[in-house]
Amino acid sequence: MRYRVMAAVFLIWITAFCQSTLLEYLEIFNVRPNILIVLMVIVALLRSTVESAAMGLLFGLTMDILMGKTLGWYALLFFLVSIPISMINDKLYREKFLVLITFAFSSTVLIETVFFLIIFMFRGYSYLPYLFGTVIVPEAIYNSILILPLFKPVSKAYNLLDTVDRRRNRLPS
Amino acid sequence: MRRILSNKIFILVTVIIILLTLVAVSHSERSGINIIGNIISIPAAPLQKAFTFVDEKISDFFGYFEDVKETKKANQELLQKVNELERQLLDLDRLTKENKELREALNFKDQYEEYEFVGSSIIAKDPGNWFEVFTINRGKNDKITTDSPVITAYGLVGRVSKTDLTTSRIVSIIDIDSTVSARLSKSRDLIVVRGDVELKGKGLCRADYIPPNTDVMPGDTVETSGIGGIYPKGIIIGKVVSVISNQGQYDSYAVIEPVVDFKRLEEVIVLKKK
């Protein structure tokens, strides 16, 4: 359990660092991928509902903190999106590219569209069609590509943690 | 089973309520709840600083060879400019003396005399695609406070929106949450400069509430008006790029190109109240 918590903290911390520094260099047409959404989807595809929801909430909260604006919106959206994915993950061929791409794309579109509606529409902005085409869809495509190289290493890391846990608790592998 | 299910729903609803409460409580930039930002910012700051340092060194290394060629060319041009500037310097010297005498005569206050200049480096940029905020390596430990103006040698950058112990978040003037009371340098008319979702991607912002029949032209300079209590008067914001005229009385707006290049911004100055 202790290793699991340490691994989760490390994953969130390194993701936060990458999102606020390295990913600036991957910007295309002023749009950068959102590695936090990508990792939330990966965790939701791999883990139980409780673990996915907790990690989703923490990834979202990290995004809120990094942005330095109102805390909680991304946390809520990540939390709510990770639950349904994790509930059906055992019925999916998780390693299929199409499954990964579909979930990364739809999760990004859902999270960013609702975030836009919450943040911008209340202020009287009406740019949704414009921003859907110039920000949300490009980011979703970007995330769909990014999930492909990231899925396997994260999956392997979780398998390793499971093995360590089983050995420590002397459970059969 | 039913009990477990109801428990799960209870937990779900509780988490949602807690998060919505967090949204409500943290909405104000001065809210105490924002202290939880330290959880991420304190451990991340050293790594972000190290990354910025390495990034600068790599850029310097690759830029060196190109710089040699450009330096030779620039040297020729600079020698010509030196002569011209020496002449201007004499004029400036005379004008400075005159200005000082007149200020003393009129009992003018220096706009910056109540501020201390704190140099800072940008260590992280906005993580998402919606806002134009960035993080600097100065925080509460350096006595930086919210709403402190942030500038460069060229002009206005923005203001401090949140402070953690070792870092601060800066909202730039092209961010959608930024509103600056400004003045057209030529006509002295008051306008409002604010960030715009469509323009921010191009590094531009807009000026609203341009009074009817105002003489505003592309190329006009826009500066802070000093109204509002955040920004001191007279800091250059940018230049008017285009004016979009509409029929309504206050419907016209101007597109402003800030003097600060936000894409290449690395160092800033925070104006800290003495």
- Looking at this predicted complex, what is its ipTM? 0.79
Q: Within its chain, how far is the Cα of B122 from the centroid?
A: 12
Query: What's phi and psi for B122, nearest 5 deg?
Result: -80, 125
CATH number at residue A76: 1.10.1760
What long-range pairs does A67-70 form, CB within 8 A, spacing at least 24?
A67/B126, A67/B127, A67/B128, A67/B130, A67/B131, A67/B133, A68/B37, A68/B133, A68/B135, A68/B161, A68/B162, A68/B169, A68/B171, A69/B131, A69/B133, A69/B161, A69/B177, A70/B23, A70/B26, A70/B27
Option in A65, A73, A139 nearest B37 (CB): A65
| Chain B residue closest in CA terms to A140 | B129
Angle at B239 between CA B78 and CA A26, to 5 degrees: 80
* Domains (range + CATH), chain B: 179-258 (2.40.10.350)
Query: What's phi and psi for B92, nearest 5 deg?
Result: -60, -40
Determine, for residues B15 and A63 on separate chains, whether the beta-carbon distance falls below 8 Å: no
pLDDT in tens, A112-132: 999 988 887 666 666 778 788
The span from the CA of A99 to the CA of A105, in Å, is: 10
Per-residue pLDDT band for B100 (boundaries 50, 70, 90) equals: confident
Smallest CA–CA separation between B41 and chain A, in Å?
Answer: 8
Q: What is the pTM of this model?
A: 0.76
Option in B47, B133, B171 nearest A17 (CB): B47
Class of residue A112 by CB neighbours under 10 A (exposed 0-12, middle 13-18, buried 19+)? buried
Q: Is a pLDDT exceeding 70 seen at residue A56?
A: yes
Indicate which of B4, B15, B40, B169 best probes the interface with A, i.e. most A CBs within 10 Å of its own CB.
Answer: B40
In 3D, which of B177, B235, B170, B181 has the Cα closest to residue B207? B181
The sign one gets for the Cα dihedral A70, A71, A72, A75 is positive
Instruction: Decide: B208 and B195 in contact? Cβ < 8 Å.
Output: no
Asked whether residue A83 is assigned to any structural domain, the reply reads: yes
Asked whether residue A169 is assigned to any structural domain, the reply reads: no
Is A68 part of the contact surface with chain B (CB cutoff 8 Å)?
A: yes
Query: Minimum mean pLDDT among A1-5, A88-92, B3-7: which range?
Result: B3-7
Instruction: Decide: A73 and B23 in contact? Cβ < 8 Å.
Output: yes
Percentage of residues of chain B with pLDDT beyond 90: 15
Determine, for residues B41 and A130 on separate chains, whether the beta-carbon distance falls below 8 Å: no
Query: What's phi and psi for B134, nearest 5 deg?
Result: -145, 165
Average pLDDT of chain A is: 87
Asked whether residue A161 is assigned to any structural domain, the reply reads: no
Q: What's the whole-number mean pLDDT along residues A153-162?
A: 89
Q: What share of chain B is helix, strand, coil (3-state, %, to 5)?
A: 40, 25, 35
Asked whether residue A173 is assigned to any structural domain, the reply reads: no
Q: What domain range is A29 assigned to?
A: 2-156
pLDDT in tens, B16-37: 999 888 888 877 766 776 677 7
Using DSSP's 3-state secondary structure scheme, residue B239 falls into: strand
CA-derived radius of gyration, chain A: 16
The span from the CA of B92 to the CA of B98, in Å, is: 10
pLDDT in tens, B37-73: 777 777 777 777 777 777 777 777 777 777 777 888 8
Using DSSP's 3-state secondary structure scheme, residue B219 falls into: coil
Query: Which pLDDT score is estimated for A152?
Result: 93
| Chain B residue closest in CA terms to A24 | B125
pLDDT in tens, B191-231: 899 988 888 888 899 988 887 777 788 888 999 988 888 88
Per-residue pLDDT band for A140 (boundaries 50, 70, 90) equals: very high
Q: Is a pLDDT exceeding 90 seen at residue B258?
A: yes
The span from the CA of A106 to the CA of A125, in Å, is: 23
Smallest CA–CA separation between A89 and chain B, in Å?
Answer: 18
Asked whether residue A171 is assigned to any structural domain, the reply reads: no
Asked whether residue A101 is assigned to any structural domain, the reply reads: yes
CB pairs under 8 A between A and B: 113
Query: Which pLDDT score is estimated for B70?
Result: 81
Q: What's the whole-number mean pLDDT along residues A152-173?
A: 81
Q: What's the whole-number mean pLDDT along residues A76-102?
A: 90
Count of domains observed in chain A: 1
Per-residue pLDDT band for B164 (boundaries 50, 70, 90) equals: confident
Asked whether residue A165 is assigned to any structural domain, the reply reads: no
Asked whether residue A60 is assigned to any structural domain, the reply reads: yes
Determine, for residues B125 and A125 on separate chains, whether the beta-carbon distance falls below 8 Å: no
Which chain A residues contact residue B177 at CB under 8 A?
A: 69
